[in-house]
A and B are shown apart, each in its own frame.
Chain A
Amino acid sequence: MAHTHTHEDSDSYYPEQLCLIAFSGLFGGICLSLYFWQTDMLKLVLAEPFHLFVLISGIFLVGLTVLRAAVLWKIAGEVNTPGQEQQHSHEHEGHEHHDHGHCGHEHHHHDHDCGHHHHDHGHVHTADCGHQHQHGRGHTHGHQHDHEHGWAPWRYMILLVPVILFLLGLPNKLPEVGATNLQVSGAFEKEAMGYGALVAAGPAQWNQLSAWLALSHDPTTGPAHKIDFLTLEQSAYSGRDVWNGKVVRVLGQYQPSMNSLREFNLVRLQIKCCGADAIPLPVPIVSKAPITGVAPGQWVEVTGKVEFVKQRGSFITVLRVPARANVKPSEPDPNPYVTSS
Chain B
Amino acid sequence: MDYERFILVFTSIIYEALPFIVFGVVIAGLLEEFVPQQFIARIIPRSRPLAIGMGGLLGGVFPMCECGIIPIMRRLLRKGLPLSVCVAYMLAGPIINIVVILSTYVAFTNKSIFESAWIVVALRVGLAFVTAFVTALIVERAYKKYGNALLAPQVVRGLTANDDNGEPRRRSAFDRINNITATALGDFVDIMAFLILGATLAASGREVMEQLSKPQPTLNAEIEEFRSNGTRGLKVVKTTPSDTNGLKEGDVLRKLAGKSVTTPADIDTALRRKKPAEDVSVLVLRDGEEAEVETRLNARQVDSAFVDLIQNNVLVAILLMMGVAVVFCLCSEADAFVAANFPVMWPGAAKLAFLVFGPMMDIKLYLMYTRIFRPRLIWTIILSVALQVIVYCLITHYVSEYLMRSH
A27 within 8 A of B: yes
Question: For residue B157, which residue of chain A has the nearest CB?
Answer: A97
A94 within 8 A of B: yes
A residues near B154, Cβ cutoff 8 Å: 99-101, 106-107, 142
A76 within 8 A of B: no
Question: For residue A238, which residue of chain B has the nearest CB?
Answer: B110
Quick check: A165 and B11 within 8 Å, CB to CB?
yes
A335 within 8 A of B: no
Quick check: B189 and A261 within 8 Å, CB to CB?
no
Quick check: B13 and A272 within 8 Å, CB to CB?
no
Residues 161-188 of B contacting A (Cβ, < 8 Å) = 161-165, 169-172, 174-175, 177-179, 181-188
Quick check: B22 and A89 within 8 Å, CB to CB?
no
CA distance A34 to B15 in the complex (A): 10
Name the one of B8, B163, B193 contacting A276, with C-beta atoms under 8 angstroms. B8
Tally of contacts, chain A with chain B, CB under 8 A: 275
Interface flags for B390-402 (1: CB within 8 Å of A; 0: not) read 0000000000000
Quick check: B185 and A68 within 8 Å, CB to CB?
yes
A residues near B13, Cβ cutoff 8 Å: 274, 276
A213 within 8 A of B: no
A239 within 8 A of B: no
Name the one of B10, B103, B107, B243 contacting A200, with C-beta atoms under 8 angstroms. B243
Residues 129-165 of B contacting A (Cβ, < 8 Å) = 152-155, 157-158, 160-165
Name the one of A44, A71, A257 contacting B8, with C-beta atoms under 8 angstroms. A44
- Supposing A61-B22, A175-B5, A257-B277 touch, asked if A134 and B153 sit within 8 A by C-beta, the answer is no
Quick check: A61 and B188 within 8 Å, CB to CB?
yes
CA distance A57 to B214 in the complex (A): 37
Question: For residue B74, which residue of chain A has the nearest CB?
Answer: A99
Return B346 CB to nearest CB of chain A, in Å.
Answer: 15
B37 within 8 A of A: yes
Interface flags for A257-273 (1: CB within 8 Å of B; 0: not) read 11111100000000111
* Segment at the interface with A among B45-53, B328-336, B377-385: B328-336
CA distance A312 to B331 in the complex (A): 30
B residues near A67, Cβ cutoff 8 Å: 177, 181
B residues near A261, Cβ cutoff 8 Å: 243-244
Name the one of B18, B172, B328 contacting A27, with C-beta atoms under 8 angstroms. B18
Name the one of B11, B182, B188, B192 contacting A275, with C-beta atoms under 8 angstroms. B11
CA distance A262 to B152 in the complex (A): 63
Name the one of B2, B189, B200 contacting A23, with C-beta atoms under 8 angstroms. B189
Quick check: B185 and A65 within 8 Å, CB to CB?
yes
CA distance A290 to B174 in the complex (A): 73
B371 within 8 A of A: yes
- Supposing A61-B188, A89-B171, A103-B186 touch, asked if A197 and B241 sit within 8 A by C-beta, the answer is yes
Quick check: A201 and B241 within 8 Å, CB to CB?
yes
Q: Is the interface of B mostly helix, strand, loop or mixed?
A: helix
A residues near B58, Cβ cutoff 8 Å: none
- Supposing A71-B178, A99-B158 touch, asked if A20 and B12 sit within 8 A by C-beta, the answer is no
Quick check: B215 and A68 within 8 Å, CB to CB?
no
B residues near A23, Cβ cutoff 8 Å: 189, 192
Residues 294-324 of A contacting B (Cβ, < 8 Å) = 296, 312, 314
B residues near A201, Cβ cutoff 8 Å: 241
Question: For residue A106, which residue of chain B has the nearest CB?
Answer: B154
Task: Place the interface of chain A in its size category.
Answer: 35 or more
Return A266 CB to nearest CB of chain B, in Å.
Answer: 14
Quick check: A132 and B171 within 8 Å, CB to CB?
no
A residues near B192, Cβ cutoff 8 Å: 23, 27, 159
CA distance A181 to B345 in the complex (A): 15
- Supposing A197-B240, A314-B110 touch, asked if A175 and B185 sit within 8 A by C-beta, the answer is no
Quick check: A45 and B161 within 8 Å, CB to CB?
no
- Supposing A24-B185, A57-B22, A96-B161 touch, asked if A273 and B331 sit within 8 A by C-beta, the answer is yes
- Supposing A101-B154, A275-B9 touch, asked if A259 and B220 sit within 8 A by C-beta, the answer is yes
Return B94 CB to nearest CB of chain A, in Å.
Answer: 13
B16 within 8 A of A: yes
- Supposing A60-B26, A257-B277, A259-B296 touch, asked if A89 and B188 sit within 8 A by C-beta, the answer is no
CA distance A32 to B89 in the complex (A): 32
Question: For residue B184, which residue of chain A has the nearest CB?
Answer: A64
A150 within 8 A of B: no
B222 within 8 A of A: no
Interface flags for B198-235 (1: CB within 8 Å of A; 0: not) read 00101000100000001100001000000000000000
Quick check: B243 and A141 within 8 Å, CB to CB?
no
B106 within 8 A of A: yes
Quick check: B12 and A45 within 8 Å, CB to CB?
yes
B338 within 8 A of A: yes
Quick check: A56 and B190 within 8 Å, CB to CB?
no
Quick check: B16 and A273 within 8 Å, CB to CB?
yes
Interface flags for B4-29 (1: CB within 8 Å of A; 0: not) read 11011111111110111011001000
Name the one of A19, A93, A197, A260 contacting B189, with C-beta atoms under 8 angstroms. A19
B residues near A132, Cβ cutoff 8 Å: 162
Quick check: B188 and A24 within 8 Å, CB to CB?
yes
Name the one of A24, A54, A256 contacting B15, with C-beta atoms under 8 angstroms. A54
B242 within 8 A of A: yes
Question: For residue A194, which residue of chain B has the nearest CB?
Answer: B242
CA distance A89 to B172 in the complex (A): 7
A325 within 8 A of B: no
What are 17 A-B pairs at a CB distance below 8 A?
A: A23-B192, A60-B22, A71-B181, A91-B170, A124-B182, A132-B162, A141-B153, A159-B193, A171-B8, A176-B2, A193-B242, A197-B242, A200-B243, A258-B298, A259-B240, A272-B337, A277-B337
Given contacts A20-B186, A102-B190, A142-B153, could you give 9 more A-B pairs where the C-beta distance is less than 8 Å? A57-B23, A61-B22, A94-B165, A102-B186, A155-B189, A179-B299, A200-B245, A257-B244, A340-B106
Considering the complex of A and B, which 9 residue pairs feature the smallest CB-CB distances, nearest first?
A: A97-B161, A102-B186, A196-B243, A274-B12, A53-B19, A275-B12, A101-B154, A57-B22, A273-B334
Interface residues of B (CB under 8 A from A): 2, 4-5, 7-16, 18-20, 22-23, 26, 32, 37, 74, 78, 103, 106-107, 110, 152-155, 157-158, 160-165, 169-172, 174-175, 177-179, 181-190, 192-193, 196-197, 200, 202, 206, 214-215, 220, 240-246, 275-277, 296-299, 328-331, 333-335, 337-338, 341, 344, 371
